[in-house]
Amino acid sequence: MQEIMQFVGRHPVLSIAWIGLLAAVIFTFIKGLTSSVKTISRGEATRLINKEDAVVVDLRQRDDFRKGHIASAINLMPAEIKANNLGELEKHKDKPIIVVDGSGMQAQEPATALNKAGFERVYVLKDGVAGWSGENLPLVRGK
């Protein structure tokens, strides 16, 4: 314990940074547990698509979407979701919705917006399309 106190006394900036990082990790963990939008694996996403007719919402730019996307995915921009301009997605409120982006890092906010718009079962695909293609799962080109 005395060594820790000496370290804190000699390195106050590092100590504050460590406490800040610890607080951020705890906050992120608690937020993930209490969020109504859950992050799912590729296996769970495949099960939802095949067994429960889940709808995939791809948030990437149109050019990236055309280069390769999950089969029957709907391409929506995060700004469209934020503006509640959901188009054909409106008729799928009763189905599970899987939100994907390029890497899985920017899908949480649009997924939360969909949940607030009345979609009850909204999920985020862990690692996004990069993780999907990294496991050699099929991508469709064009559209």
Q: Are residues 81 and 13 in the same domain?
A: no
Interval 62-87: pLDDT, tens:
999 999 999 989 999 999 999 988 88
Give pLDDT tens digits for 86-139. 888 888 989 999 999 999 889 999 999 999 998 989 999 999 999 999 998 999
Same domain, 48 and 92: yes
- Residue 25: give the domain boundaries: 2-33
| Number of domains the chain contains | 2
Return the structure tokens found at 143: 């559209």
**142 within some domain:** no
Asked whether residue 85 falls in the same domain as residue 29, the answer is no
Q: Between 2-10 and 12-34, two packed helices, what is the crossing angle to 10 degrees?
A: 110
Q: Strand ranges (DSSP E) for 31-118?
A: 38-40, 55-58, 74-75, 97-100
Do 98 and 29 share a structural domain? no
Structure tokens at 119: 């979609």
Provide the 3-class DSSP secondary structure of residue 104: coil
Same domain for 59 and 106, yes or no, is yes
pLDDT value at position 29? 87
pTM of the model: 0.79
Q: Where are the beta strands (DSSP E) in 5-132?
A: 38-40, 55-58, 74-75, 97-100, 122-125
9 lies in the same domain as 51:
no
